[in-house]
């Protein structure tokens, strides 16, 4: 979408608040296109291919990974952004980057690592995604991280405690003052929710952990399923499920666009700064669709995420993360030399907190299969050390 077609309240690449380390403007791309491209080319993005959503990577090739999820979030986000005349490239950059800080083994890995880090500032994947793009990626000679624009970093940081926000300067100010991010960041957030709820339904059915009969307890699914079966009674269930997922996403995206348009018209922001000061998020589901979406979310929590097979996988995953962390804290010489160098660079005065953070960075960057292999390498004498 050309720059002049953007709505007046959209983020504008030529008016960005800039980068921490100033750089010459790109010649053939906007600043937000550069951000998106840097995310796509970074190592943390590639590793998302082998990080899971709900199922551990070796459970099967048909389930979503963090990479496929991020791509699906970006597709949904771009659709909403285009309909609302907002900057698609910024939305895509945020969507593709939002899970870069996720641990191996999905939420189970994050929970375990947060427990391990409870005496050292905790661990939260949202903050870790920002840490990845600001500090941990080592791709460019002139600066640490990816040096993304303020607006992309604003979108990545969806939530933050006031204690942490104080150390983030301008980026953390909205959490202290009660402000909001721009509309593009709000789109990325709701696109994430739409994607993971509907795709977890698909993966749950594929895994045999959910049935259509169970899912039809939810109004959003029951109505769409009855419509699909009525229209295509002869199709096998797998194809009917594909159409069900498509229609549910379409229903929610359409509702977001219509509701958000109404919110924008009512608030009448003249600029992105007006959006930040609006007092409420303008990108939202309507009351009815929001209630149905929440009903589905609660259903998945009860019937999928708490399913005994998922809990078994989570238990094993948490055990691997905890063991790796404890082992490396007690025996840092078992860490790769590059990680040891980062620990030593902090100096003795930083103590356990610095060592713990570097170890958390190392573990969070692992893929599922690498974490399991690393666990074998440090505890099983029969395994190669390499």
pLDDT single digits (tens) 333-345: 999 999 999 999 8
- Going by pLDDT thresholds of 50, 70 and 90, the confidence category of residue 87 is very high
pLDDT tens by residue, 345-374: 876 656 899 999 999 999 999 999 999 999
How far apart are the C-alpha atoms of 164 and 147, rounded to whole Å? 20
Dihedral angle of Cα 40, 45, 51, 53, to the nearest 10 degrees: -60
pTM flag (> 0.85) = yes
Q: What domains can you pick out in the chain, each with its CATH number?
A: 3-212+249-285 (1.10.3210.10), 311-379 (no CATH)
What value does the mean pLDDT take over residues 132-152? 95
Angle at 56 between CA 52 and CA 61, to 5 degrees: 80
Percent of the chain whose predicted confidence (pLDDT) is above 90: 80
pLDDT tens by residue, 219-237: 999 999 999 999 999 999 9
How far apart are the C-alpha atoms of 38 and 42, rounded to whole Å? 6
- Going by pLDDT thresholds of 50, 70 and 90, the confidence category of residue 169 is confident
What value does the mean pLDDT take over residues 299-316? 92
How far apart are the C-alpha atoms of 304 and 323, rounded to whole Å? 26
How far apart are the C-alpha atoms of 364 and 149, rounded to whole Å? 24
- State the chain's maximal CA–CA distance in angstroms: 70
Structure tokens at 58: 């070796």
Give yes or no for a contact between 371 and 324, defined as CB atoms under 8 angstroms apart: yes
pLDDT tens by residue, 178-207: 899 999 999 999 999 999 999 999 989 988
The DSSP line for 311-348 is: HHHHHHHHHHHHHHHHHHHH-GGGS-HHHHHHHHHT-G
What kind and span of H or E run contains 259? helix 237-267
pLDDT value at position 57?
47
pLDDT value at position 62?
55
How far apart are the C-alpha atoms of 129 and 126, rounded to whole Å? 5
Between residues 78 and 107, which one has the greater pLDDT?
Answer: 78
How far apart are the C-alpha atoms of 309 and 209, rounded to whole Å? 8
Residue 364 has a CB neighbour count (10 Å cut-off) of 26
Reply yes or no on whether the pLDDT at 80 is more than 70: yes
Torsion over CA: 53, 56, 60, 61 (sign): positive
pLDDT value at position 1?
41
């Amino acid at each position: 979408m050309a720059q002049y077609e953007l709505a007046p309240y959209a983020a504008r690449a030529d008016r960005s608040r800039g980068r921490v380390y100033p750089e010459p403007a790109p010649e053939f791309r906007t600043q937000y296109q550069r951000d998106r491209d840097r995310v796509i080319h970074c190592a943390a993005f590639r590793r998302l291919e082998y990080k899971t959503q709900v199922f551990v990577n070796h459970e099967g090739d048909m389930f979503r990974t963090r990479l496929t999820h991020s791509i699906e979030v970006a597709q949904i986000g771009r659709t909403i952004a285009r309909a609302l005349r907002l900057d698609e490239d910024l939305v895509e950059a945020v969507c593709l980057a939002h899970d870069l800080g996720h641990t191996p083994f999905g939420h189970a890995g994050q929970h375990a690592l947060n427990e391990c880090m409870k005496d050292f500032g905790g661990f939260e994947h949202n903050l870790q995604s920002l840490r990845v793009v600001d500090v941990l990626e080592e791709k460019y000679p002139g600066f640490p991280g990816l040096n993304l624009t303020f607006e992309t970093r604003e979108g990545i940081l969806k939530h933050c405690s006031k204690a942490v926000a104080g150390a983030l300067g301008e980026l953390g100010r909205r959490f202290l003052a009660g402000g909001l991010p721009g509309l593009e960041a709000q789109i990325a957030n709701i696109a994430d929710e739409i994607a993971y709820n509907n795709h977890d339904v698909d993966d749950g059915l594929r895994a045999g952990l959910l049935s259509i009969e169970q899912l039809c307890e939810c109004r959003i699914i029951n109505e769409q399923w009855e419509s699909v079966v009525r229209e295509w009674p002869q199709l096998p269930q797998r194809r009917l499920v594909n159409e069900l997922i498509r229609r549910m996403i379409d229903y929610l995206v359409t509702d977001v666009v219509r509701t958000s348009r109404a919110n924008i018209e009512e608030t009448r922001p003249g600029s992105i700064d007006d959006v930040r000061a609006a007092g409420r998020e303008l990108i939202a589901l309507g009351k009815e669709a929001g209630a149905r979406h929440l009903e589905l979310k609660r259903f998945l929590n009860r019937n999928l995420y708490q399913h005994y097979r998922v809990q078994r996988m989570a238990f094993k995953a948490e055990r691997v993360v905890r063991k790796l962390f404890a082992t490396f804290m007690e025996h840092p010489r078992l860490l790769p030399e590059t990680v040891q160098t980062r620990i030593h660079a902090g100096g003795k005065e930083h103590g356990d907190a610095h060592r713990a953070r570097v170890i958390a960075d190392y573990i969070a960057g692992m893929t599922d299969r690498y974490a399991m292999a690393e666990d074998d390498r440090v505890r099983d004498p029969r395994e190669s050390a390499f």
